[in-house]
Every structure is written in structure tokens, then in C-alpha cells.
């Protein structure tokens, strides 16, 4: 019985453990985009560190909760959010626990023109999980 449980645990954790930090970060960002497209702002913002800084042309927002509140105010429902894709252009490992990412974001809706831009993210590994600590989206 113990071997079956251990095998099940390894089946779940082994792929993530064997993936490179770049692969883990890219996967995390793709899951974040999927959460956005589902209209799940809570899950989308769960990737941000508690003290994250978000910078956009409209100003600076500090803290995960404030980032979530900003998105809730700007995107009041799933239809307004559209579908998000993140095309990771570059991942630079700054250390074992820090990375920067350049990505192109695209928002599409069925009834209006798409919006797109670039984002520069800084991620840190906090308690074993990658978190966005800085987000500059334009």
C-alpha cells in the first residue's frame, strides 16, 4: 500500500520537479492566462506575491489585494475580460530564486478589436513557489 501511495505522489510531483525553472515559470504564466480567460480573477492574482508592485500607464499599484481590486474595478465581468494569451518571449534566470520574463499579452473579445502589449515581470521563488513580485505591463 505504501508503494502505491508513493508512486501516486511521484506521478504528481515528478514532472514539476524535473522541469527547468524556465519551464515552470512559462507553465505558471500559461495557467494564469487560463484563469483570466475563465474569468477567475482570484486565481489569476494568486500568482502575485503579497507585496507585489504592478505598474501600468495608469499608475502604480502595490500589494496583491490591491492588484486584485484594480482588476475587479476595471473588469467587472467575464465578458469584459475577454480571452488572454501570454506569449513568453524571454526568461532570464537572475539566480536560482529570481527571474525576469518578457511576454506579449493579447486580449481578444468576440465583439471588439483585440488589445495587446508587452509585460516585464520579475518573479521570486517564495516558499518553493514562483511568485510575481513586479509587473510592468504596457
6-49 pLDDT, tens digit each? 444 445 555 555 689 999 999 999 999 999 999 999 999 999 99
How far, in Å, CA of 44 to CA of 110, rounded?
Answer: 21
Torsion-angle region of 65 (φ positive above 0: left; ψ -120 to 50: alpha; else: beta)? alpha
CATH number listed for the domain at residues 20-137:
3.10.450.50
Q: Which helix (H) or strand (E) holds 77?
A: none
Enumerate the domain spans of the chain.
Answer: 20-137
Long-range contacts from 96-99, C-beta under 8 angstroms, 24+ separation: 96/21, 96/125, 97/124, 97/125, 98/122, 98/123, 98/124, 98/125, 99/21, 99/22, 99/25, 99/123, 99/130
How far, in Å, CA of 114 to CA of 20, rounded?
Answer: 32
Q: What is the pLDDT of residue 101?
A: 98
- In three-state secondary structure terms, 46 is coil
The pTM score is 0.85
38-47 pLDDT, tens digit each? 999 999 999 9
Mean pLDDT of the region 72-95:
96
Amino acid at each position: 500500500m505504501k508503494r502505491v501511495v508513493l508512486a501516486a505522489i511521484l506521478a504528481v510531483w515528478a514532472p514539476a520537479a524535473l522541469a527547468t525553472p524556465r519551464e515552470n515559470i512559462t507553465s505558471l504564466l500559461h495557467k494564469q492566462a487560463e484563469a483570466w480567460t475563465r474569468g477567475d480573477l482570484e486565481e489569476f492574482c494568486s500568482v502575485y506575491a503579497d507585496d507585489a508592485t504592478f505598474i501600468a500607464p495608469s499608475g502604480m499599484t502595490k500589494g496583491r489585494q490591491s492588484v486584485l481590486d484594480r482588476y475587479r474595478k476595471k473588469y467587472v465581468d467575464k465578458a469584459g475580460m475577454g480571452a488572454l494569451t501570454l506569449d513568453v518571449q524571454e526568461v532570464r534566470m537572475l539566480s536560482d530564486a529570481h527571474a525576469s520574463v518578457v511576454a506579449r499579452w493579447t486580449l481578444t473579445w468576440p465583439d471588439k478589436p483585440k488589445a495587446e502589449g508587452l509585460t516585464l515581470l520579475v518573479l521570486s521563488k517564495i516558499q518553493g513557489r514562483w511568485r510575481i513580485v513586479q509587473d510592468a505591463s504596457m
